[in-house]
Structure 1
Amino acid sequence: MKWNLRLAAANRGIWNASELQRMLAEHGLVISAGKMSGLWSGEPASIKLDDLNIICAVLGCGVEELLIAEPEKVKRVDDAQGEQAATAVSGGPPVVPKRKDGRSLPPT
């Protein structure tokens, strides 16, 4: 996914992060200067859906304008390679879930 906040804001005449930050605060979303900088100039690692909703309301846009799908960047891994990769990453046998009461599960 590509984060497109800066262009979406510019299309509405909002040219700097502090102006958008003020507008968001008027709608109840108070964002620190550091987090606003990350939203404005980079790609956030995560964003709350409620925050995204307020950003869309302030900008008068839809989520599809802020988040642009990039399906060409998704790589397909066949099932055999996926299982091998999962085992290699964990460094051992697959993890077996345990019961909540602490008792072990019967053998398979």
Structure 2
Amino acid sequence: MRWNLRLAAAHRGIWKASELQVMLAERGLVISTGKMSGLWSGHPASVKLEDLDTICAVLECGVEELLIPEPGRVTRPRADYAPQTATGTGTTVTPKRRDGRSLPPE
């Protein structure tokens, strides 16, 4: 996925991160300067869904304008890769109680 906040904001006449930061704060989303810098630069560490809702409301846009899928960037699994399964390993898993007590005899 590619983060497209800066272009979405520019389409609405918002040219500075600080302008958007003030608009978001007016809607109750107070973002630190560091986090706003990450959002604006296009490389956010994370975005909460609740925050995404507020950003969409302020910009009057949909999520599809902020998050651009890039399916070509997904790597293909190796041809010789086979996921390991727990079946056939020969080990027996015995469940244990979480309260520290032992299970009754069978």
Give the TM-score, by structure 1 length: 0.75
Number of equivalenced pairs:
94
Cα deviations across residues 36-72 of structure 1 (Å, max 9, x unaligned)? 0110013212110000000000000000000000001
Distance 1:76 1:63 in 2: 26
- Supply the distance in 1 between the matched residues of 2:25 and 2:65 (Cα, whole angstroms): 21
Bigger Rg, structure 1 or 2: 2
Task: Give the percent of matched residue pairs that are identical in Structure 1 and Structure 2.
Answer: 67
Provide the TM-score with structure 2 as the length reference. 0.77
Closer/same/farther in 2, CA of residues 98 and 61 from structure 1, 3 Å limit: farther
> Residue type of the partner of 2:45?
A
Which residue of structure 2 lines up, in the alignment, with residue 24 of structure 1?
24
Q: Which has the higher helix share?
A: 1
Counterpart for residue 97 of structure 2: 101
| Aligned match of 1:48 | 48
SS class of match (1:57): helix
Aligned mates of 1:16, 1:98 — CA distance in 2: 59
Q: Which runs of 5+ in 2 are unaligned?
A: none
Unaligned runs of 5+ in 1: 85-92, 104-108
The 10-residue stretch of structure 1 (70-79 or 47-56) with the greater mean CA deviation from structure 2: 70-79
Residues of 1 paired with 2:39 and 2:14: CA distance?
14
- Runs of 4+ residues deviating >6 angstroms: none
